[in-house]
Structure 1
Amino acid sequence: MTQQRTGIATFKGNPITLVGPELKVGDQAPDFKLNRTLLDEASLSDFSGKIKLISVVPSLDTGTCDAQTRRFNTEAADLGERVVILTVSVDLPFAQARWCGAAGVDQVVTLSDYKSRSFGEAYGVLIDELQLDMRAIFVLDKNDRISYVEYLQEMSEHPNYEQAIAAVKALL
C-alpha cells in the first residue's frame, strides 16, 4: 500500500493528505515519466548531467503558481547551461504550453503529471483529496542526488526562492 502522510500540509487551512514518501537531502531522486506533450514523455535521464531545480506547482493557472514559475524563469537566465529548471504540474500539456506562451516563459521546461500522477506519488507531493501535486521544490545535483528539498506546509504560500537558488548555486 502506498504511504499516506497526514497532519503536515493544508490547503487554505484545511488539512490535506499527501501520498508517497517524504524525500530528504541525500536521497537519490526517483526516476519519473512526465509528459512534454500528449505523446512526448520525459524522464529524469533526459536531463542527465545537469543540475535540476524541480518546481512543483498545483496548477499554472493560479496566482501563486504563476508567480513561482515566472520567478524561476527569470532566475534561469543567471544560472547558465549547467542548470535546468523543470516545472511540474498536473495541468494538461496544452494548458502548460498556452500559459507559457501567454506569460512569455521560455527558460523553464514544463512537464505534466496528468496521466498517472506517478511523479506526485514518487516525490511525495500527490494530494489525495484533490489529485493535484502539492507545491514543493527539489534541487538535484548532476548525479540526481537531492541536495535541497522544501515541502510547503500551506499550499497557497510561496516557497523560499532565495534558499532554492542558493542551493543550485552551491552546486555550480
Structure 2
Amino acid sequence: MATVHFKGTSASTAGELPALGSQAPSFELSQTDLSRINLESFKGKKLILNIFPSVDTGTCAQSVRTFNHEAAELDTTAVLCISKDLPFAQNRFCGAEGIENVIMLSDYMNDNFGKDYGIRFIDGPFEGLLARAVVVIDKEGKTVHSELVSNISDEPNYKAALEALYNG
C-alpha cells in the first residue's frame, strides 16, 4: 500500500507499483471503440503506461497532451493512457484536443488493472479511481521505470520516464 496526497488529505492505494525488473502484470482494458485489448497485444514494443484518475481534470489532461506530443517521435513505443473514464469520454477528449499519438484505455469494467498495478485508490476523495503513475515496460515485458506521483495534483516526471524508455 502507498499513500498519495491531495489538498491536505491523504489516500491509500491498493498496493505497490510493479518492482523494477519484474514482469509487468498482464491486463485487459477497453479501447475507445469498446473493444478489449491486453498487454500481449503490444508484444515486442516498449510501453509507457500513463495512468491517472480522470481525463476531465487539468493535470490528467496535460499528461495526455504531453505524452501525445512525445509519442509522435517514438517509433517502437506505444503510449497507453489509462483511467477509469468511460471510453466515450476518452474519445470525446481526444477528438476535441486532436490527440492522435497515444492509445486511450479504460479500466471501467473491472478493477483488475488498478489492483494488479497497485494504483487503485482504496480510500479518500478519489476512492475507486486510479492514482497518477507512470510505468515504463521494455520489449521483453519487464518494468524498467515506475513512478507513483506523491501529490495527485502534480504532473509525473516525464523526463525520467523518457530516459528509462531510451535506456531500457
Bin the TM-score by the shorter chain: over 0.9
Instruction: Tell me, in whole angstroms, the C-alpha distance in 2 between the residues paired with 1:48 and 1:124.
Output: 22
Instruction: Tell me, in whole angstroms, the C-alpha distance in 2 between the residues paired with 1:142 and 1:87.
Output: 18
Instruction: Tell me, in whole angstroms, the C-alpha distance in 2 between the residues paired with 1:109 and 1:86.
Output: 5
Q: Which residue of 1 aligns with 2:117?
A: 123
Task: Please give the TM-score of this superposition, normalised by the length of structure 2.
Answer: 0.94
Instruction: Tell me, in whole angstroms, the C-alpha distance in 2 between the residues paired with 1:139 and 1:117.
Output: 21
* 1:127-172 CA distance string (max 9 Å, x none): 013210000000000111000000111111111011111111113x
What SS does structure 2 have at the residue aligned with 1:127?
A: coil
Q: Which residue of 2 aligns with 1:143?
A: 140
Q: Which residue of 1 aligns with 2:98?
A: 104
Instruction: Tell me, in whole angstroms, the C-alpha distance in 2 between the residues paired with 1:51 and 1:67.
Output: 22
Letter in 1 for 2:117: Y
Q: Which residue of 2 aligns with 1:32?
A: 27
| Aligned-pair identity (%) | 39
What SS does structure 2 have at the residue aligned with 1:73?
A: helix
From 78, 81, 85, give the equivalent of 2:79: 85
Q: Which 4+ stretches in 1 moved above 6 angstroms?
A: none
Q: RMSD in angstroms over aligned alpha carbons?
A: 1.2
Q: Unpaired runs of 5+ in structure 2?
A: none
Q: Is the 8 A contact 1:51 1:140 kept in 2?
A: yes
| Structure having the larger proportion of residues in strand | 1
* 1:22-56 CA distance string (max 9 Å, x none): 32111110000110146411100011100000000
Instruction: Tell me, in whole angstroms, the C-alpha distance in 1 between the residues paired with 2:38 and 2:45.
Output: 13
Q: How many residues align?
A: 165
What SS does structure 2 have at the residue aligned with 1:55?
A: strand
Q: Is the 8 A contact 1:34 1:42 kept in 2?
A: yes
Q: Unpaired runs of 5+ in structure 1?
A: none
